[in-house]
Amino acid sequence: MTIRLMVGLGNPGAEYEATRHNAGFWWVERVARQWGVNLRLEGKFHGYAGRASGQPECWLLLPQTFMNRSGQSVAALVRFYKIEPAEILVIHDELDLPPGGVKLKRGGGHGGHNGLRDIIAHLGTPDFWRLRLGIGHPGERAEVVNFVLKAPTLNEQIEIDRSIDQSLQRLDELRAGKMEAAMLALHTKPR
């Protein structure tokens, strides 16, 4: 099954642009530049959306509902274009991976990530693909909110950018739904 929707998670507004929580936005913005897709604010989808040319048809989406309500945006586009959960790739920041870490998986829980929690609630299933971009963990659970809403350090940013570069090398495989090949490449450590 091919991927027909790539959703980057983040928060709208200049004050959040450079924060760790917006790693998913950074990834989709890079894809939009690479593919020459113009992301336009679409009120009915509550976000910036654009369609990549070529086959299979693939939408890029940046929800503008704030992280905790990402599902509202995703569900609106998914229902309009009749996209199945298995045809969705959600790109998000991941506390459980160090900066520079990147993992691909299908299904599973939300792991405390409010964007994923809301998407699962709106779709009624966790059975969509996730590309998890590591941002590291502050060490204290009480510090998580403060941590994700701050900019990464320079070294962390370099590592996050490297993980984005690494995963974008698998973009054709991801779009074509060749997830096993993409996973093998992303999860195998270079020697």
Neighbours of 15 (CB within 10 A): 9
Binding site feature residues for tRNA = 16, 66, 68, 114
Is residue 23 a contact partner of residue 161, using CB atoms and an 8 Å limit? Answer: no
Binding site feature residues = 16, 66, 68, 114
pLDDT of residue 191: 46
Cα(81)–Cα(23) distance, rounded to whole angstroms? 26
> What pLDDT, in 10s, does the model give residues 115-127?
999 999 999 999 9
Sheet containing 88-94: give its strands across: 40-42, 47-52, 58-63, 5-8, 88-94, 129-134, 102-106
Q: Shortest CA distance to 186 belongs to which of 133, 146, 144?
A: 133
Terminal C-alpha separation, the chain? 31
> What pLDDT, in 10s, does the model give residues 28-85?
999 999 999 999 999 999 999 999 987 778 999 999 999 999 999 999 999 999 999 9
**What are the residue numbers of the active site?**
21
Q: Identify which has the larger pLDDT, 121 or 141.
A: 121
Domains parsed from the chain with CATH numbers: 5-187 (3.40.50.1470)
